[in-house]
Structure 1
Amino acid sequence: MNHFEYIDGVLHAEGVALPELAEKVGTPFFCYSTATLERHYKVYADAFSGLDATVCYAIKANSNQAVLKTLGKLGAGADVVSVGEMRRALRAGIAPGKVIFSGVGKAEDEMREALEADIAQINVESIPELIELNRVALDMGKKARIALRINPHVDAKTHEKIATGKAENKFGIDWTRAIEVYRDAAAMDGIEVTGIAMHIGSQLTDLTPFREAFTRLASLVEQLRAEGIEIRNLDLGGGLGIAYQGETPPLPDAYGQMVRETVSHLGCHITLEPGRLIAGNAGIMVSRVMYIKDGEAKRFVILDAAMNDLIRPTLYNAYHEIIPVEEQGENDKQATVDIVGPICETGDTFGKDRKLPDNLKAGDLVAVMSAGAYGAVMSSTYNTRALTPEVLVKGNEFAIVRPRQEIDELINMDQIPGWLD
């Protein structure tokens, strides 16, 4: 469920009409609903009631500090994958004790800053990283609290670019080597083994891969305890999918029950790391039609948004529903169109062979739905296009939570060497 609905024929974000936002903010822009963020977080967190569990929102999905502050006030922690994301979480008021640092490659300065901040846990993804973290911790006179991220060799049955739990993926330590690496870690003076971590991929719509992975995880915990290596924290990652195009992903309650059935008997503290599930359907991108182009083979709706603003359709061939901001009547004629952006790339396409009103014209607004996750965070300045603003709505109020970047500001970031003056 989200809070983007037609009211009197006009699409609203909660109580705010999108044409009003477009007039004041300009287009394109991202718009997030506070009510949806809060509802999604609460429904997910409630699925684990009665368990010793912490929900650490995966910041990579949407890292705007207004979003982080909204979720932090509800009790969310943070799953971060860079020192930049860690700083965002801390500046948004999320306690260090609720921050988990994941990611395949952490630099020495990132390790130092994480240890200095005394975050809850660093998830180590390789033996070289473990050795480096031990060296850094000893140099600082500290012990690094760690979990090893284990790759369970489970196919998540998701898009190849967001699958992370198969043997050929770059993530984690192979589960077949887990015990020997844990032995090495337990013997290091700069390391405190506290947990075990796993994340098999994103946008999963079936619980079966989760169940297989968590069952394997539980078996590893029991083997490690038999070795005298105490595991008290389980980081189960995220990955539960959302509906983009009629998918029927499991509800959080069903996911929570599966977690109880597979790992609750271990008596560990459980960390969950949802991202897309919280933010995905809590945001949209609003764009204005620039031109309607009738080609020989296709009708093209050319928007003022482009692949630099929302790259998911180009990068993943991802589907986003696209609807007019002015509601269409049941009997209004529709046209089959390709919805594209102005960038000089054939891949700059948001949707092919879509149905939109036949009378859609230049100046009209459309909304690209389910754009709250992996939207603004993956945007770029390709073609020297300024970064798109972000707006947060709460009831009848709205705030610009990232202003539109000025093109001159972008250009002025370049530095001309003296020999060219």
Structure 2
Amino acid sequence: MAAPAPVLDTPDPSFGDLLAARPALAMDPLAGLMVEEVPLARIAAAVGTPTWVYSASTLRRRARLLKDALAEAGLDASIHYATKANPSLAVVNLLAQEGLGADVVSEGELRGARAAGVPASGIVFSGVGKTEREMRLALAEDILQINVESAEEAEMLSGVAASLGRRARVALRVNPDVDAKTHAKITTGLTENKFGVPIAMAPELYGRMSAMPGLEVVGLTVHIGSQIAQGVASYRAAYQRLGQLVRELRAAGHSVARVDCGGGLGIPYRDELPGSPAALAGAIKAGLGDLGVKIMMEPGRWIAGPSGVLLTRVIIEKHATTRRFVIVDAAMNDLLRPAMYEAWHGILPVSPVAFHAPISQADVVGPVCESSDTFTKGRDLPALPAESLVAILDAGAYGAAMSSTYNARPLAAEVMVEGARFSVIRDRQSYDALLEGQRLPAWAEGHTPG
């Protein structure tokens, strides 16, 4: 079974600890909390709240750290950023400028990657439920690779490709039955998960796929889970099994040119050990390094997560019996992770005065009509009267990407910071846009014919 949500039995990191571990953040004694060289208070005044704020330097630095680790391990590797973590065109474009391709899981993500400047030759299409329409688009774009997750999908893709007179470059996703020791909802490499085919079935299916019209079988792919932050033992086990499979397939006369090693490397939201690109590269080399295969990687959270904060404003402090509630204008429709995964996010006051003020326990909650609309319970925070600004940390991955308009709340704005400048990279959704495309049926009372 996958690991349950961790029990927090150690003290929360202090404000100073949270800052020290995040190079893009600083507390200016006058301007308050900064992302790079831009005060968050300035962004709030110009753009409003809630607003996602991303650090360009963090995105670049982490992309380069991963590239360097793979190169230093002597691996012939390419990196394909998992756009599901943060599909912002500005984010994907910046990473494309760093030489990263894209891993996509839908037509929308494929179109977004192309619009952001990722060449088709750098795009991998993953996911268990690709439609015929999506397959046709991938083939029309001539993307690098389609990761096939089942025999049924292979047959479907074969038919689509053959009908178009095309050949789809495909890799077979293998489920190695390795426990990634992560949250049950984000593990993907166990037999109980919906992803891939059991490794014992892979040789027979690989052979069948190699004979299917319209398919060019180029290799294997694996992804065992997300937010893997307990060392690389799970990776080592998965890649060892994958290496054995490559040898078995080659012994049977099949070509295996590429191995897509997935992603999932974790980040420290609280006090977890940071995922190590060097250790991950070492695990890949140990399992696959002597096989002469092209290595592919699909990182998402590790690159994007630490780049972002969710900037939000206090609506009111509410004191009820023994509990103190800090009600902010961000909500679970903006950042779903705490409600969905019991996830812990650091929270910092933006004001330099509040940063050093006395603290007491508070629950930070949003205005959505759900008890699960809670960012944290019992967190040590200073007094935060109405209009105070706070930043919810490490929100660059699976934040805006998972947001919704629940309770008819418009999607938040997104901003990118580079040095001393910032730019709105996605406008705040308007209330008019919330209603766009809706209409009353023709028989409704009060309907006015168009």
Which TM-score band applies after superposition, normalised by the shorter structure? over 0.9
Aligned to 1:189: 213
Aligned to 1:248: 273
Which amino acid in 2 is paired with 1:121? Q
Poorly superposed stretches of 4+, deviation over 6 Å = none
Q: Distance in 2 between matches of 1:340 and 1:85?
A: 31
When the two structures are superposed, what TM-score results if normalisation uses the length of structure 2?
A: 0.92
Aligned to 1:271: 296
Which amino acid in 2 is paired with 1:378? M
Aligned to 1:307: 332
Is 1:91 equivalent to 2:115 in the alignment? yes
Aligned to 1:340: 365
Q: Offset at 1:328?
A: 5.0
Of 58, 66, 89, the match for 1:44: 66
Q: Is the 8 A contact 1:148 1:197 kept in 2?
A: yes
Q: Distance in 2 between matches of 1:284 and 1:318?
A: 15
Q: Residue 331 and residue 391 in structure 1: after superposition, are their counterparts in 2 closer, same or farther (change >3 A)? A: closer
Could you say what secondary structure the match of 1:229 adopts? coil
Q: Is the 8 A contact 1:204 1:249 kept in 2?
A: no
Q: Offset at 1:331?
A: 6.3
Aligned to 2:84: 60
Q: Any unmatched runs of 5+ in structure 2?
A: 1-21
Residues 235-384 of structure 1 mapped to structure 2, 5 A cutoff: 235-328=260-353, 332-357=357-382, 359-384=383-408
Is 1:4 equivalent to 2:25 in the alignment? yes
Q: Distance in 2 between matches of 1:408 and 1:297?
A: 41
RMSD: 1.1
Could you say what secondary structure the match of 1:195 adopts? strand
Q: Residue 287 and residue 331 in structure 1: after superposition, are their counterparts in 2 closer, same or farther (change >3 A)? A: closer
Which amino acid in 2 is paired with 1:31? V
Is 1:207 equivalent to 2:232 in the alignment? yes
Q: Distance in 1 between matches of 2:417 and 2:232?
A: 33
Residues 52-131 of structure 1 mapped to structure 2, 5 A cutoff: 52-131=76-155
Of 48, 54, 62, the match for 1:32: 54
Q: Distance in 1 between matches of 2:335 and 2:356?
A: 31
Q: Is the 8 A contact 2:240 2:286 kept in 1?
A: no
The 10-residue stretch of structure 1 (24-33 or 328-337) with the greater mean CA deviation from structure 2: 328-337
Q: Distance in 2 between matches of 1:259 and 1:79?
A: 19
Which amino acid in 2 is paired with 1:7? D
Of 166, 175, 186, the match for 1:142: 166
Q: Is the 8 A contact 2:326 2:365 kept in 1?
A: yes
Q: Residue 4 and residue 264 in structure 1: after superposition, are their counterparts in 2 closer, same or farther (change >3 A)? A: same
Q: Offset at 1:369?
A: 0.1
Q: Distance in 2 between matches of 1:199 and 1:96?
A: 22
Q: Distance in 2 between matches of 1:298 and 1:368?
A: 21
Q: Offset at 1:190?
A: 1.0
Q: Offset at 1:300?
A: 0.1
Q: Is the 8 A contact 2:53 2:415 kept in 1?
A: yes
Q: Is the 8 A contact 1:241 1:249 kept in 2?
A: yes
Of 8, 21, 24, the match for 2:43: 21
Q: Distance in 1 between matches of 2:436 and 2:247?
A: 57
Q: Residue 140 and residue 2 in structure 1: after superposition, are their counterparts in 2 closer, same or farther (change >3 A)? A: farther
Could you report, residue by residue, the CA deviation over 1:60-104 in whole angstroms, capped at 9, with x for unpaired residues?
Answer: 000000001100001000000011101111111111111000001
Could you say what secondary structure the match of 1:47 adopts? helix
Q: Offset at 1:326?
A: 1.1
Q: Any unmatched runs of 5+ in structure 1?
A: none
Aligned to 2:10: none
Q: Distance in 1 between matches of 2:348 and 2:78?
A: 36
Q: Distance in 2 between matches of 1:186 and 1:147?
A: 11
Could you say what secondary structure the match of 1:362 adopts? coil
Q: Distance in 1 between matches of 2:391 and 2:443?
A: 48
Q: Distance in 1 between matches of 2:225 and 2:213?
A: 32
Q: Offset at 1:260?
A: 1.3
The 10-residue stretch of structure 1 (381-390 or 48-57) with the greater mean CA deviation from structure 2: 48-57
Q: Distance in 2 between matches of 1:94 and 1:300?
A: 44
Q: Is the 8 A contact 2:239 2:283 kept in 1?
A: no
Aligned to 2:19: none
Q: Residue 77 and residue 331 in structure 1: after superposition, are their counterparts in 2 closer, same or farther (change >3 A)? A: closer
Q: Offset at 1:294?
A: 0.4
Q: Offset at 1:297?
A: 2.6
Q: Distance in 1 between matches of 2:310 and 2:97?
A: 25
Of 398, 406, 412, the match for 1:388: 412
Identity of counterpart residues, as a percentage? 48
Q: Offset at 1:31?
A: 0.1
Is 1:398 equivalent to 2:422 in the alignment? yes
When the two structures are superposed, what TM-score results if normalisation uses the length of structure 1?
A: 0.98
Which amino acid in 2 is paired with 1:255? L
